Amino acid sequence: MHSRACGATLPTPRRRAAPARVRPVDSLQLGASAIAGVSAAMAAALAWLAWHFAARRDVPALRDLAYAWVALAAAALVRLLEFVPVGNPLGLAVDALCSFPAFLHVGFLVLGATALLHDAPTTTRRRRDVLLGALLATVMTVGISMLVAREGTPQAMVRVGVRAAATALACVAVARVVMRVPGDDARGPSFGAGIVRGALLLAAAAAAWQAGTAILATRTAPSTTLWAVVAFVEFVAQCGVAVGLVVWLLDREVARAAALAASAEQRAQTDPLTGLPNRARLVDRLHLALANARRDGEHVAVCYVDLDRFKEVNDAHGHAAGDLVLRTVAQRLVAALRAPDTVGRIGGDEFVIVTPRLASRDGAATVVARLRAALRGEVTLADGTRVAVDGSVGVALYPDAATEAEPLLAAADAALYHDKAARRADRWRRLAARSA
């Protein structure tokens, strides 16, 4: 008979132990690892780019931006340690490693934007203030997280939220500063500055989302997918900042090169003391005036002006006083004439005036009368001394005196010497009449 029929009890068969489950790798940790590594590499590349341009292109503000991205790279490398509880000394050290470089990034970002706005290097004292401010913000962030939450993960999310909120505010502030940086030409801020501003605003939006999500995640776990998407958006924003900086600096170099070329051309055609056209530019204006006069049947007057006893002013009061007299006389001559007229200085105390579009010969006499009135007067020197100023005027009229530029200038120069001789003879006659 079977043992069961005898009332015997069969031994219970042993169950085979279930195989140990292999814990799946946390996708959030994997995604965070990848994003942290890429962000650190991108921030390091941005730091190198900013430092390179700061050294090669003489843009001191980029040094602070380089420091900001070095801090961002450091913050990205320790981002994986954010979920360590702060209830032990190791956790406090880890939190400091996470928070301190993040706040340094914010501080140096603001310093760099301020330096760009004022086009001045940052002082050592301000950099020291940023270091102290980042240290203070780190201590406050740890304290806030410990007061608000008791568990490790909620504490970490509070810290993430505080840092993200600070980053969002800083990016918005820097974006506003970037648009206030004056452009290198009349077109205003460059296209590169617009890219930087847009990228900073995108980074601010991503940081603001992270701040809000992190604060809410103290009670509910954050969405892994959304968090990865926003982290990718933040990475794209950093790339945009890099591209915008490159375009901005290239635009700046092109604008500066164009400004230097324009300045060189201006110096080549302008008298450096008075700012008036020099002889080359004056002759060009004269050729244009003669061409228009031939076409329209008008007259052109060319006047030579020479100051009386100018050498005595230089000898008695110095060359600075003589320069002041020349600048004052230049301003008076320009103010006495019409907008189409050209006043030029051809050297020493000699000025040449080209007066186009005269309807008749009588217009030349009117021009000479205005010039004599502008010349006659006094100039107050820097020490308060008043110097009497006067001069001789010679005029030649197209087409009566000549029909080409150089002969017309020569005729005006000859008329100047006739006027000087006539005024000198008139002075002697007056002196003789007084002595008699």
Secondary structure in 3-state letters for 136-185: HHHHHHHHHHHHHCCCHHHHHHHHHHHHHHHHHHHHHHHHHHHHHCCCCC
Write out the chain's pLDDT in tens, 436 residues.
Answer: 343 333 433 344 444 544 444 344 445 555 556 667 777 887 888 788 788 878 777 777 788 888 888 888 887 777 655 544 444 556 556 666 777 888 888 888 788 878 877 777 888 888 898 889 888 888 887 777 677 666 656 766 777 788 788 888 888 888 888 877 766 555 556 788 888 888 889 988 888 888 888 777 655 555 666 766 777 787 788 778 778 877 877 787 787 788 778 777 777 788 889 989 999 899 999 999 999 999 999 999 999 999 988 988 888 889 999 999 999 999 999 999 998 999 999 888 999 999 999 988 888 899 999 999 999 989 999 888 899 999 999 999 999 999 999 999 999 999 999 998 888 887 777 777 777 6
Kindly report the pTM of this predicted structure. 0.53
Cis peptide before 399 (omega within 30 of 0): yes
Q: Which residues pair with 392 in a beta bridge?
A: 306
Tell me which residue of 300, 282, 308, 304 sits closest to 394, measured CA to CA.
Answer: 304
Tell me which residue of 406, 417, 428, 304 sits closest to 354, measured CA to CA.
Answer: 304
Report the distance separating Cα 85 and Cα 241, nearest Å. 34
**Domains of the chain, earliest start first:** 27-266 (1.20.1070), 279-435 (3.30.70.270)
Where on the phi/psi map is residue 23: left (φ > 0), alpha (ψ -120 to 50), or beta? Answer: beta
